[in-house]
Structure 1
Amino acid sequence: MNTLAVAVGEGTRVFLNFSVSLEDGSEVDTNFGAEPVDFVVGDGSLLPGFEQRLIGMAPGERQLFKVPPEDAFGQPNDNNVQVMSRQHFDDDAGLEIGVMFAFADAAGGELPGLVVAFDDAEVTVDFNHPLAGRNILFDVLIHRVEPAELH
């Protein structure tokens, strides 16, 4: 092993491949088979619960982590399920249970919402993250770790 190898930690840039999947084996996201992505530890690119599990890993190391909801996308919050008037949706909006719509949030950004119920008068939309309440399998292969200031 290279004596200059650095372990993942504060002040490092990490190059990795990863996959995120659910316990039933369905893959949510992956970059295996593509070029590694990189991030600087603490830059907010990864959720803290994912980033924390990488600390101490070395180049060439691969691990599979089971990340509980509290360290991933949180638990569903009943306050994030909203009932709206059907008038907020165009007649040709294609309302169906399971359809995702983008809504404007207070800051002018986009907030995805999942239609969970509707009738002639109201539409119930769930704004919880689609992975809230789920255990996440986080498969990681570290390619390179270097001091962040070299990049």
Structure 2
Amino acid sequence: MTQAKSGDTVRIHYIGKLTDGTEFDSSNGRPPLEFVVGAGQIISGLDKEVDGMELGTHQTVTVPAEAAYGAHDPAKVHALPRSAVPSNIDVHPGLQLQSRTPDGNTIPLVVTEVSDQVVTVDANHPLAGKDLVFDVELVEIVRAA
């Protein structure tokens, strides 16, 4: 059978779950995810698992946090004065905000705690620090390297 290898453009169907079974993403109802194997277009741990997969096969792989979105970095959690958030925004835990860096880049933030004086935000990726489980099917090798 044909195997995916580094440099191939491939398409996969996938279901991404946390280790407790909670689904966080899926290609169900969408076209398969297309990427170049080994090009760093998807998380490295999943990329590595697709390399060598046989066309048409399914597999379940566990990707450790370090090979997914990395460890949760406490330095990316910040307490801001409540006045730093516009008063017309209903601030609550789980709210997603954006901030701009001095050089104009946008940083996504998630509110983790709120008090009358302080809003705590987390700039880590929501899946940072989590091991991920993927059910993967290699559906097509679009272009071989």
TM-score when scaled to structure 2? 0.89
AA paired with 1:147?
A: A
Count of aligned pairs between the two proteins:
144
Question: Kindly, what percent of the aligned residue pairs are identical?
Answer: 32
Matching residue of 1:104 = 100
Residue 59 (1) aligns with residue 89 (2): no
Distance in 2 (alpha carbons) for counterparts of 1:106 and 1:48:
30
Cα distance, 1:34 vs structure 2: 3.4
Summarize the Cα distance change of 1:107–1:65 in structure 2 as closer, same or farther, 3 Å threshold. farther
Mapped to 2, the partners of 1:98 and 1:115 lie a distance apart of 5
Instruction: Supply the distance in 1 between the matched residues of 2:6 and 2:109 (Cα, whole angstroms).
Output: 35
Using the TM superposition, name which of 24-33 and 54-63 deviates more. 24-33
Aligned to 2:49, what secondary structure does the other structure show?
Answer: helix
Structure 2: how far apart are the matches of 1:73 and 1:130? 9
Correspondence 1:1-151 to 2 at 5 A: 5=2, 7-145=3-141, 146-148=143-145
Structure 1 gaps of 5+ residues are none
Question: Which one-letter code corresponds to 1:101 in the other structure?
Answer: L
Moved more, 77-86 or 41-50: 41-50
Deviation digits for residues 56-87 of structure 1 (CA, Å, limit 9, x no counterpart): 10111110101111111111111000111211
TM-score normalised to structure 1 length: 0.86
